[in-house]
Amino acid sequence: GDSVTQMEGPVTLSEEAFLTINCTYTATGYPSLFWYVQYPGEGLQLLLKATKADDKGSNKGFEATYRKETTSFHLEKGSVQVSDSAVYFCALSRNAGNNRKLIWGLGTSLAVNP
Amino acid sequence: GAGVSQSPSNKVTEKGKDVELRCDPISGHTALYWYRQSLGQGLEFLIYFQGNSAPDKSGLPSDRFSAERTGGSVSTLTIQRTQQEDSAVYLCASSYPIGELFFGEGSRLTVL
As a whole number of angstroms, the distance between CA A47 and CA A27 comes to 21
Task: Decide if A100 and B56 are in contact by the 8 Å CB cutoff.
Answer: yes
Poorest-confidence range of A7-11, A96-100, B105-109? A96-100
* Predicted local distance difference test score (pLDDT) of residue B100: 82
* Predicted local distance difference test score (pLDDT) of residue A9: 86
Taking contacts as CB-CB distances below 8 angstroms, the residues of chain A near B31 are: 99
Percent of chain A with pLDDT over 70: 96
> Mean of the pLDDT values across residues A37-45?
89
When CB atoms are compared, the residue of A4, A99, A104 closest to B95 is A99
Give the number of other Cβ atoms within 10 Å of residue B27's Cβ: 9
* Predicted local distance difference test score (pLDDT) of residue A8: 86
3-class DSSP state of A99: helix
Residue B106 in contact with partner chain A when CB distance is under 8 A: yes
Taking contacts as CB-CB distances below 8 angstroms, the residues of chain B near A43 are: 3-4, 91, 93, 102-106
Which among A100, A101, A103, A108 is the top mutation candidate for probing chain B, defined by the most B β-carbons within 10 Å of its own β-carbon? A100
Give the number of other Cβ atoms within 10 Å of residue B48's Cβ: 21
Percent of chain A with pLDDT over 90: 75
> Mean of the pLDDT values across residues A10-39?
94
**Tens-level pLDDT at each residue, chain B (112 residues):** 579 999 999 999 999 999 999 999 999 999 999 999 988 778 899 999 998 889 999 999 999 999 999 887 999 999 999 999 999 999 999 998 777 889 999 999 999 9
Average pLDDT, whole number, for chain A? 92
Looking at the predicted structure, is the pLDDT value of residue A81 above 60? yes
The neighbouring-strand residues paired with B95 are B31
Chain A: residue nearest B36 by CA? A104
